[in-house]
Structures are given as C-alpha cells and as structure tokens.
Amino acid sequence: MTAAAAPTYETIQYDAASHVATITLNRPDVFNAFNDPLSKELLAALKEAERDAAVRVVILTGAGKAFSSGQDLGDLKKKYVPGHVPHLGDDLRRRYDPIIRKIAELDKPTIAAVNGVAAGAGCSLALACDLRIASDQATFIEVFINVGLIPDSASTFFLPRLIGLGRAMELCCIGRKVDAEEALRIGLVNQVVPAGELVTAARALAARLASLPGRGLALTRQLLRKSFERSLDEQLVAEAFAQETAGMTADHYEGVIAFIEKRKPVFTGK
C-alpha cells in the first residue's frame, strides 16, 4: 500500500524539514486576511503537522509584509447591505475556534514568527501560540472595538494571561496599535529581531526546541497552559501524573545517562 500524498494548498504554504513544520499564510495581496479557504487550509495544515511523527515544532508566519490582517473585509462587502443580520457567533464556531483549539491541543510547541501587522484574528492567532518572535516591523492591534465588536478567537483568554488584565483592557477597549518594542516590553512577545533575521531566528528557536525531549515539552506546555484554570492542589496532582509519565520516556533515561557519562544527550522524542 502506498502512502497517501501530502495535501496541496492554495492559501498557505506548508514545509516540513529537520523536525520543524513551517506554515505560512499565503495571501500577501490582502495581507494574509482570513477567508473560508484559508481557515480550512490552516486547520488542515495544523492537523497534518500533528499527525507527522517527524515534526516536533510548528512555526506559523505570513508571506509578504503582514502576518495577518484578520478577517478579509472583501468578503463582507457583499453581505453588509441594509437589512443584513450577521451571525458572527456561528462564524467563529465554524471557522476560527477550531484553529485556536487545535493549536492549544497540539503536543508540539508552536512559534509565531510575526513579520508584520497582526490584527484582529491575526493577532489572536499569534497570541494562541506558545512563543512569539517579532520582526522589528511587526505591529499588533486588537481592532475589534473599532468596528463595534469584541476581541474573539481567544484574544480575551490569552491576552490578559500574557500582559495582565489592565494592559489587556487598554488594548482591547481602546484598540490602539502596539509596535514591536512595546510588545517586547509588556511581555506580548518573547523576542524582537531585525526584519531580515526573523526567519533565521525562528528556525534557530525551533531547532533548539526540536532537540529537546518531545514528551517532556508536550507535558510542560499543557501544564503551563492549564495552570490558570486549576487550584494549587489540582496542579500538584497534574504535575505528579505528568512527572510519572515523563519519567518513563526514553528521553528521560538518555538525559540521566548522558549526565552521568558527562556527554551531550541525544534525544529522540520518545
């Protein structure tokens, strides 16, 4: 039986090499705005990275000048006529929420390499990732209030956890733009690099993560992500269970033996 051919995409680029899957939003002519095909293909690519045992880290980035400008307003021009009643909740449940859930559920670290503007749902996509590296040309804006809406796609979940309630309230309720340096200062991103070095920096971080014990990373990211929802006692129970699991991996054994033998460990993700 031959292996199934990898899916082909029209609105994204997917590349997997050296244990890293890079998913690039590829609608640069509209600043990588979300339409139905992009939403579907992004979710499919995340599932492809999830299934591929060789992939240990996922990078999300954008083609051209933008990370993502959010919802494609071109799609709305035909709909927003007198008498139109939007059902945006249904749209979220169908298109955006599955993407955010998939990122959260992955057992592989995710890196947002933010090359330009990250607005609306594009900002939410970056926030959902585990780590964010920003180009010095990157900007972030929770633009929703400017069109009478609320921040969605889990922005109201991740943003206060990253930068605190007060700053999150300011950015969401005022809807002002944050440049890369401010994003670094307030903890919105982990690192800022010159625009020409973004890809190199993201790949270097991904390579570092890919060289670490995969199961230990997966357990760690889930413990950290769920820590805000648990009591201290619940988190201690979860840690004990996760540590028991991690202790049974080949990577744990390799790490201990390498330490004893005073050599660099070689982790396999098992």
Phi and psi, residue 33, nearest 5°: -70, 150
**Does residue 180 sit in helix, strand or coil?**
helix
Rounded CA-CA distance 128/46 in Å is: 13
Rounded CA-CA distance 30/74 in Å is: 9
C-alpha dist (Å) from residue 94 to 25, 57, 141, 153 = 19, 26, 23, 11
Q: Where in the chain is the domain with CATH 1.10.12.10?
A: 214-260
For position 215, what pLDDT does the model report?
94
Q: Where in the chain is the domain with CATH 3.90.226.10?
A: 12-210
Instruction: Return the CATH fold of 12-210.
Output: 2-enoyl-CoA Hydratase; Chain A, domain 1 (3.90.226)
**Contact indicator for 10, 44 with CB cutoff of 8 Å:** no
For position 4, what pLDDT does the model report?
46
> Residue 119 is encoded by which pair of tokens?
């607005």
**Contact indicator for 102, 46 with CB cutoff of 8 Å:** yes
Average pLDDT, 10 consecutive residues per value, the chain (270 residues): 63 96 98 96 98 96 97 77 78 94 96 98 98 98 94 97 97 97 98 97 97 95 95 96 95 94 91
Instruction: Please report how many Cα atoms fall inside a 13 Å half-sphere around the Cα of residue 246, on the Cβ side.
Output: 21
**Contact indicator for 116, 137 with CB cutoff of 8 Å:** yes
Measured N-to-C along each axis, helices 165-174 and 155-163 cross at an angle, to the nearest 10 degrees, of 130
Reference 131, options 38, 204, 47, 28; nearest CA is 204
For position 6, what pLDDT does the model report?
61
Query: Which architecture characterizes domain 214-260 according to CATH?
Result: Orthogonal Bundle (1.10)
For position 232, what pLDDT does the model report?
96
Rounded CA-CA distance 178/159 in Å is: 13
Please report the sign of the dihedral spanned by the C-alpha atoms of residue 27, residue 30, residue 33, residue 38: negative
